[in-house]
Structure 1
Amino acid sequence: MIPYGRQDITQADIDAVVEVLHSTHLTQGPAVPRFEQAVLSHCQAKHALGVNSATSALHIACLALGLGLGDWLWTTPNTFVASANCGLYCGAQVDFVDIDPRTYNLCPRALEQKLIAAEKAGRLPKIVVPVHLCGQPCDMQAIHALAQRYGFKIIEDASHAIGGKYLGEPIGNCRFSDITVFSFHPVKIITTAEGGMALTNDDKLAERLGLLRSHGITRDSALMTKGMDGPWYYQQVALGYNYRMTDLQGALGASQMNRLEQYVARRHELARRYDELLKDLPVTTPWQHPDGYSGLHLYVIRLQLDRIQETHLQVFEALRAKDIIVNLHYIPVHTQPYYQNMGFQVGQFPEAERYYAEAISIPMYPVMSEAQQDEVVSCLRETLGA
């Protein structure tokens, strides 16, 4: 069986976690700050806050930016539901912007047209969440320029993208956003088992994010409403959540960071090889924008359905029957029953829907061998009759 993604756990990772198990702190110890610092050093941002999932990071990012009742959050329909749900958690309303047909990311031109109409209707978004699908960065310079013009905040959902670059600089530096979010789920580029992180260059936002991830509680006297009663004293100054990352996760993440660039480089080797092996098949391989260096979390092909006899479903099922565990990223969020009950309809975001009708994520991960890659291509070729 060849899965679409797989984590790589080395003895160094195991030793790092075991060291924490033998320590006095399984949580709220030194391992999470060490991991945060490793990510900061790589991304060249000012603040990083580790949390228990990227979903939690998105939630507190929205709250830190003041999203609430009566506000709008816009994102792409071509993403996991968390990129949109984070707005609903805050009581805001959610809408979508269609994708660019080449990058599969939120389209800046579609965003601009939607902003022009929204300004006239008096319902501009408070937050826009561009998603770096598959690790390829969005056109953040264009989106940031629109933010300056229309006054919205930006949360980069970079769950797929740690280790990637935009305009030669690391994704996560927040040059064109207020907050960037990473995911460390097991199939992501590096893992903490479950876990996420929010990065920002804004001191006040970092302070707010820190409160929100841990019950709204502070031991910082500068944030308190009165003097401390004693060394035991703390105050709850906001309504926060228990979104902390454990030291076990932090230790694993810090260890994995030592191999981040190696992992991304290997993904690029595999992607280049796929590009060559698949060039004569009736599929469209991923296009990479010259402004970006993708984290390449996923390698997505699009079936050229007019050139094959099989349906999308038949190809998918045939590959799985051959133990090639392909997947599909993603079902457009606006087509989910929960969102359809809110009034969204099939047909509203046609580029995302066309992508969904053709896309298949084929296996790619750093420890994948060339023999496994050859098997994937052979099975795909056989399935397509090519």
Structure 2
Amino acid sequence: LACLALGLKKGDVLWTSPISFVASANCGLYCGASVDFVDIDKNTFNMCPIALEQKLQAAEKCGTLPKIVIPVHLCGESCDMKPIHALGKKYGFKIIEDASHAIGGRYKNNPVGCCEYSDITVFSFHPVKIMTTGEGGMAMANDEHLADTMELLRSHGITRDESLMTHESDGGWYYQQVGLGFNYRMTDIQGALGLSQLSRVDANVLRRHEIAGRYDEVFINTSITPQQQLQGTYSTYHLYIINFEAGITAQEHKQIYVSMRESGVGVNLHYIPIHTQPYFKVLGFNEGDFPIAEQYYNRALTLPLYPNLTPTNQASCIESLLQVSNL
């Protein structure tokens, strides 16, 4: 909906991060646009502003500048939005923040979602997120026209607003379909579930910081590197991702995952680089296109982090990790 509200269409180009869930790229394809990626920063795991600028310089020469760029706030750690926004002004692209992980996060003392450095911010309310409505999400914008457009698109393109109709309303029952929209409305029950959790978001995030802090202390002076937090950001720690040292082999990496799973520790790996998926290979992408993202994937591991994780269980996770990785 955000892409359509910003006018994305066939012939346009959308750029996003290769380290995200596939939805961050698929939204552009649904609109008929083509999709490309910007490599990540090796420390923050988020879209690299330097790589973005270099890619924009090359695209300008070829006449293939993006219409929309979607930075993804991986784990709830905000991308460095100020330089990305400055590049948007210079090169003329719109910005949608993928804040699926980041409700309750902050960037430069402002809440993620305030849209100071973007046109639209989207949040996810999937069951595993900081707060949930069962499914669905939320889009935020400071531009009233964008908000109204998304509101129309989410409900079949139907309006009861006379100012948007082609002629005077026939009566209180009357509505018009003024565009082609979708049946993307949230139910009242889902909305009530979400509202009931809003007051707990800050406490949820604070608890996640406590758990992340214990992990951070353990990994000081080891070959394990957690995601770097930029100065002026406040992550939600939706996920806690670590990177192993450069020398780790693919087999060693896989064995750490398998061994921890077998010992009952629910580790995971977020995410498989989108451009390496079979569907995107058909679109022309190849392994090696975004080397930092691929390097990240070969060394990354997501450790358990949720508000009810007890110190005892976390200690068991840490002990298992140190044991199987020989640290």
What range describes the TM-score normalised by the shorter chain of this pair? over 0.9
Give the superposition deviation at 1:235: 0.5
Going from structure 1 to structure 2, the CA distance change for 1:204 and 1:382 (only over 3 Å counts) comes to: same
Identify which of 336, 339, 350 aligns with 2:291. Answer: 350
The secondary structure found in structure 2 opposite 1:197 is: strand
2: CA distance between counterparts of 1:269 and 1:149?
Answer: 40
Could you tell me which residue of structure 2 aligns to residue 313 of structure 1?
254
> Structure 1 residues 339 and 133 mapped into 2: Cα distance closer, same or farther (>3 Å)?
same
8 Å contact 1:100–1:351 — kept in the other structure? yes
Distance 2:290 2:279 in 1: 17
Residue 279 (structure 1) shift: 2.8
Listed as ranges, the gaps of 5+ residues in structure 2 are none
1:65 aligns with 2:6: yes
- How much does 1:192 deviate? 1.2
Identity of aligned residues (%): 59
Please name the residue that 1:148 is paired with.
89
Offset at 1:366?
1.1
Greater mean alpha carbon deviation, residues 235-244 or residues 286-295: 286-295
SS of 1:360's partner is: strand
- Does the CA contact (< 8 Å) of 2:226 and 2:242 recur in 1? yes
What corresponds to 2:305 in structure 1?
364
Q: 1:382 to 1:310 in 2, by over 3 A?
A: farther
TM-superposed CA distance for 1:327, in Å, is 0.9
Please state how far the C-alpha of 1:144 moved relative to its aligned partner.
0.4
Q: Which residue of 2 aligns with 1:165?
A: 106
Shift of 1:305: 5.4
Deviations 1:169-222 (A, max 9, x none): 100000000000001111111111112000000010011000000000001111
Q: Contact 1:108–1:139 at 8 Å: present in 2 too? A: yes
Is 1:293–2:230 an aligned residue pair? no
Give the C-alpha shift of residue 70 in structure 1.
0.5
The one of 111, 127, 134 equivalent to 2:75 is 134
Q: CA deviation at 1:280?
A: 5.1
Give the length in aligned residue pairs. Answer: 327
Aligned-partner SS, 1:325: coil
| C-alpha separation in 2, matches of 1:202 and 1:280 | 47
- The corresponding residue for 1:10 is none
From 140, 144, 159, the counterpart of 1:218: 159
Match of residue 195 from structure 2: 254
How far apart are residue 385 of structure 1 and its match? 2.5
In the alignment, structure 1 residue 336 sits paired with structure 2 residue 283: no
> Paired residue for 1:84?
25
Determine if contact 1:282/1:307 at 8 Å carries over to the other structure: no
SS of the aligned residue for 2:127 comes to coil
1:115 matches 2:46: no
Distance 1:229 1:81 in 2: 45
Deviation at 1:228, TM superposition (A): 1.2
TM-score for the superposition, normalised by structure 1: 0.83
Structure 2 match to 1:266? 207
Partner Cα distance (1:110, 1:381) in 2: 34
| 1:231 pairs with 2:172 | yes
Conserved 8 A contact 2:45-2:227: no
Instruction: Give the SS at the match of 2:185.
Output: coil
Query: What is the deviation of 1:111?
Result: 0.6
Equivalent-residue separation in structure 1 for 2:28 and 2:152 (angstroms): 19
Residue 282 of structure 1 deviates from its aligned partner by 3.2
SS in 1 for 2:247: helix
- The answer on whether the counterparts of 2:250 and 2:298 sit within 8 Å (CA) in structure 1 is no
Q: Distance in 2 between matches of 1:369 and 1:67?
A: 46
Distance 2:25 2:248 in 1: 35
What's the secondary structure of 2:27's corresponding residue? helix
1:348 Cα deviation after fit: 0.6
Letter in 2 for 1:123: T
Aligned amino acid, residue 336 of structure 1? Q
Amino acid at match of 2:43: R
Q: Distance in 1 between matches of 2:121 and 2:228?
A: 24
- Pair 376,164 (structure 1): closer, same or farther in 2 beyond 3 Å: same
The equivalences for 1:15-26 within 5 A come to none
Query: What is the alpha-carbon distance in structure 1 between the residues aligned to residue 128 and residue 322 of structure 2?
Result: 25
Write the deviation string for residues 300-358 of structure 1: whole angstroms up to 9, x where unpaired. Answer: 01122526896111000111101111111100000000000011000010000000001
Q: Deviation at 1:149?
A: 0.4
Provide the alpha-carbon RMSD of the alignment: 1.3
Return closer, same or farther for 1:351/1:170 CA change in 2, 3 Å cut-off: same
Q: For 1:127 and 1:309, locate their aligned partners in 2 and report how far apart those are by CA, in whole Å.
A: 35
Code of the residue aligned with 2:141 in structure 1: it is: T
Cα contact 1:310–1:384 (8 A) shared by 2: no
> What amino acid is aligned across from residue 219 of structure 1 in structure 2?
R
* CA distance in 2 between partners of 1:124 and 1:189 (Å): 34
2:181 aligns to what?
Answer: 240
Structure 1 stretches of 4+ with a deviation exceeding 3 A read 307-310
Aligned to 2:224: 283
SS of 2:134's equivalent? coil
Q: Is the 8 A contact 1:305 1:311 kept in 2?
A: no
